[in-house]
Amino acid sequence: MITVAQVLTSTLVAYALVILKVKGRRVWFVLFLSTMMIPGESVIIPNYLTISSLGLRNTFLALVLPFLASGFGVFMMHSFMRQFPMELVEAARIDGASNLRLLWSVVLPLSRPAIASLAIYTFLTHWNAFFWPLLVTETPQMQTIQIGITQLQSPDAFNPGLVMAGAVLAVIPTLFIIVFGQRQIVRGLTAGSTK
């Protein structure tokens, strides 16, 4: 859910800033960039207090809500969309494309490498998150696999085979994403390197 939300919000914000050229776009962009300068650790307590005051502790919403948007995602998509040839956008507008049609038919197909790179980065970051899920979850049904792996270790009886099996299970989705997204990652990294 976090990956889908961040890709969606980042793409739409970058589209508004770069293609639609909304009023005050430079101020908005600087505002999004400034969120990247705030360390994530410094907002843990305010996020926790907000989640607790809303009565969302030990829910899936508590795991997802603070991460629905990302300044890094906006920065990445904005940087990628600035490289678009504006002639394509102007040609689509001359042909009568609405803003939604322009987004769907021109911008999103051209943005596939950046979207894939952002999706993979976001998924890996939040799949491996440990501290926030540990803080907001209480029951084993709500805890993530990383917390489960640490609970496999006990001071009384350490079973390295059990811990290794848990680690392998935790790595499988990551490997799956990397293997099937590798082509898009390479396209995203090399975009603009050749003419």
pLDDT of res. 191: 56
CATH, domain 2-190, list 1.25.40.80, 3.20.170.30, 3.40.1190.20, 1.10.3720.10: 1.10.3720.10
Q: Where are the domains of the chain?
A: 2-190
Residue 17, pLDDT score: 92
pLDDT of residue 93: 87
Element (H, E) at 104: none
Tokens representing 24 are 């005050």
Q: What is the mean pLDDT of the chain?
A: 87
* Alpha carbon distance 75, 72 (integer Å): 5
Q: pLDDT tens, 104-152?
A: 988 998 888 889 889 989 998 999 999 999 999 999 888 888 898 888 8
- The pTM is what? 0.84
Task: Please provide the DSSP assignment of 48-86 as one string.
Answer: HHHHHHTT-TTSHHHHHGGGS--HHHHHHHHHHHTTS-H
| Positions in the chain whose pLDDT score sits under 70 | 185, 187-195
Which residue from 148, 154, 178 is spatially nearest to 166, judged by alpha carbons? Answer: 148
Percent of the chain beyond pLDDT 70? 94
